[in-house]
Structure 1
């Protein structure tokens, strides 16, 4: 079972749980990226970018956003197939309760790395869009097991803004 520890980026204003055995690596475009030391294809990354909207609801419903996400995946040259598994919405830690967090799970089969499972979460806080992507290989030879899935879902649900002081 993967152990988790809390990672907080106070400069960018977010926090989440990360598997303790995964290592932090630098990657252009990513605010932070962690990789499984044994299998680099398994990773989680956060991207923070400025936005004009003050909530995800201004952009659309979770169904609308996940449809856009899948469209973007399907446009990639390397993508053979992309399919939505689930989507949901939860409240973030914002004391005003305005912080909606959208969560998605989908499958992608690609010429780069084969089939994988992607868990994604997004929220808007202080005119910044926060995106978390957790990618895990999910092939027939090495399917995502229920224990690992539970850990990755814990990571997904832990992604949130740091309450402003």
Structure 2
């Protein structure tokens, strides 16, 4: 995993115990995942409408609102639809001390270097993986700011022979369990292995362990990442945290 490279991690630990429980209605990604500080929000292609400053009559305003509702473009309707279609379940590794949501249909596979890895059944290059490694740091902030870390991450990606290009899309910081410092990154990766991909990563340090989440999904020009899938992946990203009681 790329972030593991830039932070010079040591050997991983194997997964020995875990639990999984279903979640019937996952939350919308931008809600209920702790306050953020120094956040540079992820830009979402095509999910904002830039409206001109127009003076509308009451009748025109009512007609405009009606048109939006009839066309199914209202934000509440979209959110409700996504909540119904996205199916996630909670995965907790009580031994290693982390928790996250994962797509319920994705299967767990064994892979060297990963504490846990889930792959989409029909396309293994779409996956969610976690690596847990011992470190000397007491917090992620001791290593550097989110921007500093993502710069190192991109440098490490570009040094790989298979990498054709890597571009940062977003950087953020949020609070996790008990005020835990969590960094989040999003970037585009074009490589000779798998083509264009969208990568979402998150990292935190607790109990002298570095926890790294890496989410990879195909994002090719002929089949770009759709809104529903993006919402699901962001929900997984924001759910990554230390397990309660650790």
TM range (shorter): over 0.9
Structure number with the higher helix fraction is 2
Give 1:60 shift: 0.3
Q: How many residues align?
A: 162
Give the CA deviation at 1:130: 0.2
For 2:87, the equivalent position in structure 1 comes to: 3
Task: Give the Cα separation in 2 of the matches to 1:141 and 1:23.
Answer: 26
Which of 116, 127, 139 is matched with 1:43 structurally?
Answer: 127
The aligned counterpart of 1:120 is 201
Contact 1:46 1:130 in 2 (8 A): yes
Alpha carbons 1:17, 1:154 under 8 Å: kept: yes
4+ runs deviating over 4 angstroms:
none
Aligned to 2:243: 162
C-alpha distance in 1 between matches for 2:151 and 2:230: 23
Quote the Cα distance in structure 2 between the aligned partners of 1:142 and 1:2: 19
Post-superposition offset of 1:20: 0.4
Between Structure 1 and Structure 2, the one with more strand by share is 1
Question: 1:1-165 residue pairs with structure 2 within 5 A?
Answer: 1-94=85-178, 97=179, 99-164=180-245
Q: Which has the higher Rg, Structure 1 or Structure 2?
A: 2
Q: Scaled by the length of structure 1, what TM-score is found?
A: 0.96
**Can you give the 5+ residue segments of structure 1 that lack an aligned partner in the other structure?**
none
How far the C-alpha of 1:164 sits from its partner, in A, is: 2.2
SS of residue matched to 2:237: helix
Cα deviation for residue 111 of structure 1 reads: 0.2
Contact 1:2 1:20 in 2 (8 A): no
CA–CA distance in structure 1, aligned partners of residues 87 and 160 of structure 2: 33
Distance 1:163 1:22 in 2: 24
Gaps of 5+ in 2: 1-84
Q: CA RMSD in A?
A: 0.8
Superposed displacement of residue 142, structure 1: 1.1
Whole-angstrom CA distance in 2 between matches of 1:59 and 1:164: 25
- How many angstroms does 1:57 deviate by? 0.5
